[in-house]
Structure 1
Amino acid sequence: MSETEPNDWQKRLRPYAFITGCLAVVLLLALPSVFNGITGSHQTIQDRQTPVALDQMRPTGEMFLFDPMYDNMDRGRHDLMRGAVVDPTYYAQASFNRGDIVYFDGSGVSDRLGLGVSRIVGLPGEKVKVDAGRIYINDRLLDAFYGQAHVRGLDQEAFLQLPDTSNLNVESILEEVYQFSLAELTIPPDTLFVVGDDWLRSLDSLRLGPIPASLVEGKVVGICPGCSDPS
C-alpha cells in the first residue's frame, strides 16, 4: 500500500469526518444569530410604539383640557404647554405602560409641584438607574426617544451644535443634564418612575423618586392646539 493511500481506519472515519464538518458549518452559521439576539433584544428595552408627537384631537365624553403652562415636556415644539387632552377614565380599564404621559397631582410628592404631566419610564418592581444621561431598566439600556437626556428635544450632540449658546451655562447643563447619573433603585409596588422629556426643566422622579400611582388622575391622549385660546 502506498503512503498516500488511506488505510482501513481512515476509510471508516470518513463518514464521521463529513458529519462533523457539516455540524461545524451549521454552528458557525448559527452563532451570529445567537450573539445578535444577546446584544440586541437582551441588552436593550425597546419602545417603538410610543409616538414622539401626540395626535391632534378635541376632547370627547369625560375628557377635558389641561394647560400645564410648564415646559417640562417640551421637545422643541411647546406641544404640551397648553391644550393637553386628558382622559380621566383611561386607567379604569387599562394598565400603566412605559411611554404613557400621565396627568397627576404632584402636590402629593412635593410642595413645588401641582397638577402636571410627565412620562412613565419605569414600572413597579423594575430596577432603574441613570448613567451619564442614559436610562437603564433592569440593567438594560432603554432604547427609546425618551430614554436619554434631552433639552428642548436636543440630545447632547445636537445641543453642542447650537449656533448661539451665549445666554446658556453650557458647562452646567452638560454636568446637570447630559452627564446626570442616578444610583440604581427598585421601584416600589404601586408607584411609577416618571420623567419629563426636557430634563433641564423637569422636576420628576430623577430628583424626587417614584410617585404613588394613586396620584395619577388620567392619561394625556392628545393635544388640541387653539382649544385653550380665548375666543
Structure 2
Amino acid sequence: MKLLLLSVFVLLLGACSAGEAADKKENSVVSEAAASEVVKDEDTKPEVELVEANGNTKLIQWLSDSMDRGNHDYDTMAHSELVVELNYSEANRGDVIYYKTPESAVEKNPQLPEFYIARVVGLPGETVEIRAGQVYVDDKKLDTFYGVATDRGLGKDDYFKMAEQNIEEGTWTTDEEVSKKELITWVNMDAKEEYFATSIEPVKVTTEAVFVLVDQWWRGTDSRDFGELPLERVEGKVIGYVKNK
C-alpha cells in the first residue's frame, strides 16, 4: 500500500513539474514576444522632396542644422526654401511640423526663433520615453531612422568608426602639430558617448498634443526640453523644398 501511494505521489509530482515547466515556457514565449514588439514607420522617408507651392502653403527659411542627416537637410542656406502646408489637421508620426516655439523654451534660450520645426514622434495618448539613445513608444521600440540618437544621420557605431578614422588620419585639422590625444580631446569623445546614451523619463502625451524631436538631438530644442507640444501651436507641415521657378 505504501509503495502504491509513493508511486501515485511521484506521478503527481512529475505532472506538476511538467505543468510548471510548460507554464514557464509559455510565459517566456509571451515575454519574448512582448520584448520583440516594435513601432514602425515605413511611410516616412529620410529624403526631403522637391515640391510645388500653392495657395495652401507658405515658404519659410530655416537656418539651422538641427534636422541635418548628412546632407544639410532642411537647411535653406544649402537648399531652396521650405514649403509648409497650412491647416495641419491630423497628426501623423514622422511629420516634420512648423510650430510656434513654446514660451518655456524661449525663457531658457531667448535666441530661439519665434517658430520652430521638428518631427512628430509621439501621438496623442501615447507615452514616449528615451532609453540609452533609443526612443520607445508605449514601451515599444520605435524602429525607424528618427527613433535613435544620430549625428548627421550616423548612429553611434558608424559615428565613432568615422571619428576614429578621421582622428587617425588627422583629417579634422590642418595643424600638423596637433597630436592624436589632443584631437580626441578636441572632438570630446566622452561628450559624444553621453549624447548617444541620451535618456529621458516617460512623457504621457495628452489628447490634443504631440511629442516632437529634431533629427539631430544635440543641435536643437524639442519635447525633451519643453515636454509635449499642444496641437494648437502647429501652423503646418513641412512637405519639402520648393522647386526653383
Q: Does 1:223 align with 2:225?
A: no
The DSSP-based 3-state class of the residue aligned with 2:63 is: coil
User: Could you state the TM-score of these two structures normalised by the residue count of structure 1?
Assistant: 0.75
Matches within 5 A, 1:159-198: 159-162=159-162, 163-164=165-166, 166=183, 167-175=186-194, 177-198=195-216
Identity of aligned residues (%): 32
Residues 164/208 of structure 1: CA separation in 2 closer, same or farther (3 Å cut)? farther
Cα-to-partner distance string for 1:138-158 (whole Å, 9 max, x where unaligned) = 010001110100111110011
Q: Does 1:212 align with 2:230?
A: yes
Aligned 8 A contact 2:120 2:211 in 1 = yes
Q: Does 1:99 align with 2:94?
A: yes
Q: Which of these residues, 59, 64, 69, is aligned with residue 63 of structure 2?
A: 69
Q: Which consecutive unaligned segments of at least 5 residues does structure 2 have? A: 1-25, 168-182
Shift of 1:52: 0.9
> In the alignment, which residue of structure 2 is the partner of 1:134?
134
User: Could you state the TM-score of these two structures normalised by the residue count of structure 2?
Assistant: 0.71
Shift of 1:195: 0.2
Shift of 1:79: 2.4
- Distance (Å, rounded) in 2 between the aligned partners of 1:194 and 1:202: 11
Aligned 8 A contact 2:56 2:85 in 1 = yes
Aligned 8 A contact 1:108 1:215 in 2 = no
> In the alignment, which residue of structure 2 is the partner of 1:85?
83
Shift of 1:115: 1.0
Aligned 8 A contact 1:194 1:210 in 2 = yes
Shift of 1:38: 3.0
Shift of 1:74: 0.6
Moved over 4 A (4+): none
Choose 133-142 or 166-175, whichever is displaced more: 166-175
Q: CA RMSD in A?
A: 2.2
> In the alignment, which residue of structure 1 is the partner of 2:176?
none
Aligned 8 A contact 2:105 2:221 in 1 = no
Q: Which consecutive unaligned segments of at least 5 residues does structure 1 have? A: 1-30
Q: Which letter does structure 2 place at the counterpart of 1:194? A: V
- Distance (Å, rounded) in 2 between the aligned partners of 1:52 and 1:205: 20
Aligned 8 A contact 2:125 2:205 in 1 = yes
> In the alignment, which residue of structure 2 is the partner of 1:28?
none
**How many residue pairs were aligned?**
189
Q: Which letter does structure 1 place at the counterpart of 2:86? A: P
Shift of 1:219: 0.2
Higher helix share: 2
